[in-house]
């Protein structure tokens, strides 16, 4: 069969494919990840590209365009969204440093054996350490009884020697938070017990759908889907490790990794088929911590490194929630924790006794799937308010003109339009004439537009935007946020009621989205609960914090197990009152 040529003009690269191939598949295979928020169904329009076919230049959706003849790809819009703001920091929690991994230095004289005795006898009897087969093998080739002052670095994990190495070089451990959209990695120098580097990236699995359901569907529909998505995430982590290596970190001396992520991320990282997560009764392969070697994990670290994926709580409530709970104060105060992202996880409790639930709020809260939605990158509106004179006050990431709206900006815009009557409590955007009849003609009424049956609020005209496209917020966008906020708020209500709302003393908001939003505006639109006298504060990437604590204090491992064993998973969809409460919470009740 004759191959069709695909020329990537901006990279001067030539590809070939079979007739009828999807352009998105060809570009992804060539390393140009496509932003398929809708799972490749042609709805989100985030995978647009400009192509030249013969002499005609046109804009196409790569997930829908089937290649029938030679084409030239002039530009790929999703590649322009680089420099994403990814939260890696955290804002609280002090804890004791007591790691399982350490480097124990001894000389030949320290372990000199008695006549006809085993070389490792002193290690076992005097110091109490056993040794793995691999460590025995390495040590046998390093040890010389004639070199009295020779120093050996014994890599200890959980009182077992797992390797013998250069005593004068540091060893490392890393913690990784695999989110549905982003990945954060923290590397620690375990010889000095200090952080050595922090790295972040987009999760490349977004090319197969913005949410976990889309990715599970991909694995069900494609025989090799699980392996493909596993390779995507492990390869991205290895790219991050390459960056660390360039920064001077000897990544082959990383001997421990602790990883947190939701249930789907656990399956896809470990190569488990996630099909059963996608249908009732939503069962993971295992909820316990899974331990494997660096080699088995396909990571470019020491092959015998101890890699642990933290335990899950149940259903879609994964190890990221376990890590969030483990990261907060372990005292008698009852707290609610809300982790907002593509999926929303809610936990309420104290000690190790928690009620936890997950609700699928979709990618809208992160700006995806909306008319002018985008990730938190340069050009995104991240803050918005309406002044007393009805003029707009806009903050744009990176400064300059806006290109779209990210999640925090969406919350602000919706809140302000509700406060100023442009949108009513049912989520209906008033027509211009209705607004004028109720409030009079002003600069806001001039921004209420209708085009091809779609009503929207204009934020930036074509000559005011970064890319010549108008920036607006439509009635369809309102509906998407209503669905998401109703799911989150209903989950919070039901979890709080089951645990005992009156006991809650504090609400923690975890995750990147929660760190950047205006909390008061989020409460105003009914996204976050507003319990009387209960403060709410953002605590940063608490899942990443919990994973770091896991490698820095050995007691956190047991705490994670205790949380898994004692937490109660609440399945919201099977609760009789969920549906009605959900529909009630679609309303904007604060206006």
- The domain total for the chain is 5
Instruction: For residue range 54-104, list pLDDT tens digits in order.
Output: 878 888 888 888 888 888 887 887 655 443 444 445 544 556 788 999 998
What is the pLDDT at residue 82? Answer: 41
455 and 571 in one domain? no
374 and 344 in one domain? no
User: Which CATH number fits the domain that encloses residue 71?
Assistant: 3.10.20.30
What is the pTM assigned to this prediction? 0.81
Task: Name the DSSP letter for residue 369.
Answer: T
Up-side HSE of residue 471: CA atoms within 13 Å toward CB? Answer: 26
Name the β-bridge partners of 76.
49
User: Which CATH number fits the domain that encloses residue 263?
Assistant: 3.30.420.480
403 and 386 in one domain? yes
**How many whole angstroms separate alpha carbon 285 and alpha carbon 298?**
20
| End position of a domain, from candidates 480, 507, 532 | 480
Residues sharing a CB contact under 8 Å with residue 460, sequence separation 6 or more, in sequence order: 394, 401, 402, 470, 471, 472
265 and 191 in one domain? yes
53 and 184 in one domain? no
Contacts 24+ apart (CB under 8 A), 449-456: 455/429, 455/431, 456/371, 456/429
497 and 456 in one domain? no
What is the pLDDT at residue 422? Answer: 95
Q: Is residue 557 part of a domain?
A: no
The tokens describing 337, both together, are: 């924790």
473 and 379 in one domain? yes
Q: Is residue 268 part of a domain?
A: yes
Domain that holds residue 344: 332-362+481-541+567-584
| End position of a domain, from candidates 165, 195, 213 | 165
Q: Is residue 17 part of a domain?
A: yes
Q: Is residue 485 part of a domain?
A: yes
What is the pLDDT at residue 377? Answer: 83
208 and 66 in one domain? no
Instruction: For residue range 314-344, list pLDDT tens digits in order.
Output: 888 999 999 999 999 888 899 999 988 777 8
Task: Name the DSSP letter for residue 279.
Answer: S
274 and 213 in one domain? yes
**How many whole angstroms separate alpha carbon 376 and alpha carbon 402?**
12
Residues (pLDDT < 50) of the chain are 81-88, 91-92
Instruction: For residue range 468-522, list pLDDT tens digits in order.
Output: 999 999 999 999 999 889 989 999 999 999 999 999 999 999 887 777 889 999 9
What is the pLDDT at residue 396? Answer: 92
Q: Is residue 379 part of a domain?
A: yes
502 and 415 in one domain? no
How many DSSP H helices and E strands does the chain contain?
A: 15, 27
281 and 265 in one domain? yes
What is the pLDDT at residue 81? Answer: 47
61 and 40 in one domain? yes
User: Which CATH number fits the domain that encloses residue 357?
Assistant: 3.30.420.40
Cα distances from 325 to residues 183, 275, 307, 318, 535, in angstroms, run 19, 27, 21, 11, 18
């Amino acid at each position: 069969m004759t191959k069709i040529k695909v020329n990537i003009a901006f990279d001067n690269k030539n590809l070939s494919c079979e007739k009828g191939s999807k352009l998105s598949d060809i570009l992804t295979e060539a390393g140009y990840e496509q932003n398929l928020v809708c799972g490749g169904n042609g709805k989100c329009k985030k995978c647009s590209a400009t192509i030249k076919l013969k002499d005609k230049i046109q804009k196409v959706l790569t997930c829908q365009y089937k290649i029938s003849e030679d084409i030239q790809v002039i530009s790929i819009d999703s590649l322009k969204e680089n420099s994403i703001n990814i939260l890696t920091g955290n804002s609280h929690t002090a804890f004791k440093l007591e790691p399982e991994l350490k480097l124990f230095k001894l000389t030949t004289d320290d372990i000199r054996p008695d006549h006809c005795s085993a070389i490792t006898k002193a290690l076992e009897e005097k110091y109490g350490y056993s040794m793995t087969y691999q460590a025995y093998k390495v040590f046998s080739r390093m040890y010389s009884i004639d070199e009295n002052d020779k120093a050996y670095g014994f890599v200890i994990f959980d009182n077992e020697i797992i390797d013998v190495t250069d005593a004068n070089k540091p060893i490392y451990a890393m913690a990784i938070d695999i989110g549905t959209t982003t990945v954060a990695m923290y590397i620690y120098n375990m010889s000095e017990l200090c952080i050595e580097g922090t790295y972040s990236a987009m999760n490349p699995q977004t090319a197969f759908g913005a949410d976990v359901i889309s990715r599970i569907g991909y694995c069900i529909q494609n025989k090799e889907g699980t392996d493909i998505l596993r390779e995507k995430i492990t390869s991205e982590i290895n790219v991050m490790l390459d960056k660390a290596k360039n920064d001077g970190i000897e990544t082959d001396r990383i001997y421990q990794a602790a990883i947190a992520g939701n249930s789907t991320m656990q399956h896809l990282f470990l190569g488990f088929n996630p099909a059963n997560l996608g249908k009732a009764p939503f069962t993971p392969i295992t909820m316990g911590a899974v331990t494997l070697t660096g080699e088995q994990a396909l990571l470019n670290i020491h092959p015998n490194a101890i890699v642990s994926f933290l335990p899950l709580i149940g259903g879609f409530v994964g190890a990221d929630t376990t890590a969030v709970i483990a990261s907060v104060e372990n005292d008698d105060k009852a707290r609610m924790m809300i982790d907002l992202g593509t999926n929303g996880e809610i936990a309420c409790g104290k000690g190790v006794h928690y009620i936890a639930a997950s609700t699928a709020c979709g990618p809208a809260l992160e700006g995806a799937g909306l008319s002018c939605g985008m990730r938190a990158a340069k050009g995104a509106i991240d803050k918005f308010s309406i002044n007393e004179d009805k003029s707009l006050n806009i903050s744009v990431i990176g400064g300059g003109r806006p290109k779209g709206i990210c999640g925090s900006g969406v919350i602000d815009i919706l809140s302000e339009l509700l406060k100023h009557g442009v949108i009513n409590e049912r989520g209906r955007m008033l027509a211009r004439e209705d607004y004028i009849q109720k409030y009079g003609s002003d600069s806001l009424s001039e921004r209420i537009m209708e085009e091809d049956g779609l009503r929207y609020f204009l934020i930036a005209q074509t000559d005011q935007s970064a890319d010549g496209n108008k920036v607006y917020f439509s009635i369809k966008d309102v509906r998407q946020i209503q669905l998401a906020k109703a799911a989150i708020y209903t989950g919070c209500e039901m979890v709080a009621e089951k645990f005992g709302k009156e006991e809650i003393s504090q609400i923690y908001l975890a995750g990147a989205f929660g760190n950047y939003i205006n909390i008061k505006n989020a409460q105003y639109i009914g996204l976050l609960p507003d319990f009387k006298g209960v403060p709410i504060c953002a605590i940063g990437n608490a899942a990443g914090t919990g994973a770091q604590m896991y490698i820095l204090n050995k007691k956190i491992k047991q705490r994670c197990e205790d949380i898994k064993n004692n937490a109660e998973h609440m399945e919201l969809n099977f609760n009789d009152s969920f549906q009605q409460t959900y529909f009630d919470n679609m309303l904007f009740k604060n206006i």
